[in-house]
């Protein structure tokens, strides 16, 4: 048996000690054989065959805590004995390693609703990723913490495997180098635990104004603009991906961001451009020149190129990760059919409906065999990470909307003037104009009407003349008949999905 050293980074302190430990991780990651270093100092790695999550790889252990509460139609199960067998294999594997990176981190910026994470990995760059993504220290607070251990060993097995046990409070990740599995497995754990505390866990970004008021939630699946639209230099970023809504307000689950960086531009997304290239950032599957310059428009490895960085890389990030209850809730969708208007106001019931649908669309070419836009529905905008039945989260959302009265919006960042391949992607400037008008309160004061083709409530006009050109989507198409047919097709998909969800809900009762 080989001798083994365990590099332990315990981050219960604050200030200089945490920063020194972080610098050690950065140095270790840069010196690893499986990484490159950008000219700017960021770390670049390639994740091999797994360039994204492996949806079929995740299993939750069936035990006395989970048997009656997990949505087993949406989650795969393994027996407790199977989990323990894998845990034995992990222990045996770790005993053969010469070095293990081990850190104590935290998930949840609100220390009243926080769990402790012991992250153990054989990859220095993945240890740095975890350090980027989770909370690096905590103040002394009189509360007992749930303590979880993550064993992440990509080379231990050839087949991707993610196993979660709520009894043993352990997560096992093997067979995949894609670091997103680490963050999403922790998200899954919080999504199960926090609902029992009357907290709504959300796959969303959150920001506030510079006074910490006028907060906004941005729901959306990957590629809809959650990270881009919440990283606004005129507002404070609370977090870009995972949050909880408690009786006290909103709180970030993480201490960092994980941005999709394909086609990232300095002019269009300057905050993210700088953040992903700062020392300590980790870039996955980004092509780099011999001179150490990233080529963000290259898709040689995957279109799902990613960058992780601590939230303090964003200059206007919240120091606390906490804010008040939301004034606005924005449901983002990338409508590749080119049917939806850039913005619509939603009633409470419509908001809950869109939350349950979680609609966006895949574009042609993203998957083998996909030759035209394909509607994608992911309940709660994060079905793979929601262990409980969708109604459990939807009921919490309805209760919180009714209690705190935010204004709810549907914002499409997808195509205009035709579907993908015919029309053009909604300009970022237009989507930002929509969000700015929402935040200022001006949009709520506009006159709205019911859109004939979608049934949505959309504004007749705004003070932004460029945005006004996009408000009625049918006006951008070559013919009204072509738009009408596309709208009927999409609305039928929505109706069918709502019918399916109603049937699924009734079958569980």
Calpha distance 188→288 (Å, rounded): 33
Lookup: tokens for 351: 């908001």
C-beta atoms surrounding 135 within 10 Å: 23
3-state secondary structure 274-336: HHCCCCCCEEECCEECCCCCEECCCCCCCCCCEEEEEHHHCCCECCCCEECCCCEEEEEECCC
110, 232, 241, 327: the active-site residue: 241
- What's the whole-number average pLDDT of the chain? 92
Q: Using 50, 70 and 90 to split pLDDT, how confident is the model at 2?
A: very low
Backbone angles phi, psi at 508, to 5 degrees: -85, -15
> Is 306 a known active-site residue?
yes
- Grouping H, G, I as helix, E, B as strand and the rest as coil, residue 216 is strand
- Contact yes or no for 226/204 (Cβ under 8 A): yes
**Residue showing tokens 């920063």:** 19
136, 151, 243, 306: the active-site residue: 306
pLDDT at 245 exceeding the cut of 60:
yes
Check residue 508 and give its pLDDT. Answer: 64
Cβ within 8 Å of residue 491, ≥6 positions away: 453, 454, 455
- Contact yes or no for 242/227 (Cβ under 8 A): no
Q: Using 50, 70 and 90 to split pLDDT, how confident is the model at 145?
A: confident
pLDDT at 503 exceeding the cut of 80:
no
> Is 241 a known active-site residue?
yes
Calpha distance 131→125 (Å, rounded): 10
Calpha distance 378→147 (Å, rounded): 30
22, 45, 51, 53: the active-site residue: 53
138, 177, 184, 388: the active-site residue: 184
Cβ within 8 Å of residue 467, ≥6 positions away: 342, 430, 433, 434, 437
Q: Cα 248 vs. chain centroid, distance in angstroms?
A: 22
**Among 76-80, 220-224, 451-455, the least confident range:** 220-224
For the beta sheet containing 146-153, the strands, ordered from the edge strand earlier in sequence to the opposite edge, are 5-10, 99-107, 115-121, 146-153, 170-174, 161-165, 58-62, 76-79
Check residue 227 and give its pLDDT. Answer: 82
pLDDT at 354 exceeding the cut of 60:
yes
> Is 53 a known active-site residue?
yes
203, 354, 400, 497: the active-site residue: 203
Q: Which residues pair with 383 in a beta bridge?
A: none
Check residue 367 and give its pLDDT. Answer: 46
Q: Using 50, 70 and 90 to split pLDDT, how confident is the model at 504?
A: confident
pLDDT in tens, 7-49: 444 444 446 888 888 999 999 999 999 999 999 999 999 999 9
Backbone angles phi, psi at 242, to 5 degrees: -140, 125
Residues above pLDDT 70, as percent of the chain: 93
30, 120, 226, 451: the active-site residue: 226
Q: Give Cα separations from 9 to 49, 148, 217 (angstroms).
A: 30, 16, 33
- Grouping H, G, I as helix, E, B as strand and the rest as coil, residue 487 is helix
pLDDT at 395 exceeding the cut of 60:
yes
- Percentages of the chain per state (helix, strand, coil), in multiples of 5: 30, 25, 40
- Contact yes or no for 221/266 (Cβ under 8 A): no
> Is 12 a known active-site residue?
no
Q: Give Cα separations from 152 to 34, 106, 199, 200, 339 (angstroms).
A: 16, 16, 28, 28, 43
Check residue 222 and give its pLDDT. Answer: 81
Calpha distance 416→265 (Å, rounded): 21
- Contact yes or no for 355/394 (Cβ under 8 A): yes
Q: Give Cα separations from 309 to 26, 100, 258 (angstroms).
A: 12, 22, 7
Check residue 232 and give its pLDDT. Answer: 86
Q: Which residues pair with 74 in a beta bridge?
A: none
Cβ within 8 Å of residue 243, ≥6 positions away: 201, 202, 204, 205, 206, 217, 250, 251, 252, 253
122, 208, 222, 224: the active-site residue: 222
- Contact yes or no for 206/232 (Cβ under 8 A): no
CA angle (425, 430, 431) in 5-degree steps: 80
> Is 297 a known active-site residue?
no
Average pLDDT of the residues in 261-271: 91
Lookup: tokens for 46: 């390639």
> Is 136 a known active-site residue?
no
| Residue of higher predicted confidence among 279 and 12 | 279
């Amino acid at each position: 048996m080989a001798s083994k050293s365990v590099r332990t980074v315990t981050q219960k302190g604050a200030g200089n000690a945490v920063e020194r430990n972080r610098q050690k991780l950065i140095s270790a990651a840069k010196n690893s054989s499986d990484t490159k270093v950008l000219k700017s100092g960021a770390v670049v790695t390639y994740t091999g065959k797994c360039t994204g999550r492996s949806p079929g790889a995740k299993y939750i252990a069936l035990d006395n805590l989970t048997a009656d509460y997990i949505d087993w139609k949406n989650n795969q199960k393994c027996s407790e004995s199977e989990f323990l067998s894998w845990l034995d294999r992990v222990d045996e594997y770790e005993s053969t390693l010469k070095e293990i990176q081990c850190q104590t981190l935290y998930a949840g910026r609100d220390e009243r609703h926080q769990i402790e994470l012991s992250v153990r990995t054989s990859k220095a760059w993945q240890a740095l990723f975890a350090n980027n993504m989770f909370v690096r220290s905590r103040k002394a607070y009189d509360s007992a913490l749930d303590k979880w251990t993550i064993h992440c060993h990509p080379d231990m097995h050839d087949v991707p495997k993610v196993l979660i046990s709520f009894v043993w409070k352990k997560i096992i990740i093997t067979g995949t180098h894609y670091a997103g599995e680490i963050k999403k497995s922790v998200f899954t754990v919080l999504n199960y635990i926090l609902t029992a505390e009357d907290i709504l866990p959300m796959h969303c970004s959150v920001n506030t104004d510079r006074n910490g008021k006028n907060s906004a939630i941005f729901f959306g699946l990957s590629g809809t603009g959650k990270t881009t639209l919440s990283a606004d230099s005129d507002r404070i970023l609370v977090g870009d991906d995972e949050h909880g809504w408690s009786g006290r307000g909103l709180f970030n689950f993480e201490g960092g961001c994980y941005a999709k960086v394909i086609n990232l531009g300095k002019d269009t997304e300057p905050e993210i451009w700088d953040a992903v290239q700062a020392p300590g950032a980790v870039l996955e599957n980004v092509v780099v020149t011999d001179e150490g310059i990233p080529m963000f428009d290259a898709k040689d490895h995957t279109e799902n190129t990613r960058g992780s960085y601590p939230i303090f890389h964003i200059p206007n990030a919240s120091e606390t990760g906490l804010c008040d209850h939301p004034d606005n809730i924005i449901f983002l969708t990338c409508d590749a059919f080119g049917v939806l208007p850039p913005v619509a106001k939603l009633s409470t019931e419509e908001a809950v409906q869109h939350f349950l649908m979680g609609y966006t669309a895949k574009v042609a070419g993203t998957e083998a065999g996909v030759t035209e836009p394909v509607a994608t529905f992911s309940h709660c905008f994060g079905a793979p990470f929601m262990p409980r039945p969708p109604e459990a989260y939807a009921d919490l959302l309805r209760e919180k909307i009714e209690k705190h009265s935010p204004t709810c919006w549907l914002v499409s960042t997808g195509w205009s003037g035709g579907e993908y391949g015919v029309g053009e992607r909604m300009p970022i400037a237009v989507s930002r104009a929509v969000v700015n008008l929402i935040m200022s309160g001006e949009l709520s004061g506009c006159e709205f009407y019911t859109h004939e083709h979608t049934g949505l409530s959309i504004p007749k006009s705004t003070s932004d003349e460029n945005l006004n050109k996009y408000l009625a989507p049918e006006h951008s198409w070559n013919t009204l008949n072509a738009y009408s047919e596309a709208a009927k097709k999409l609305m039928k998909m929505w109706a069918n999905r709502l019918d399916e969800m109603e049937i699924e809900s009734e079958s569980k009762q």
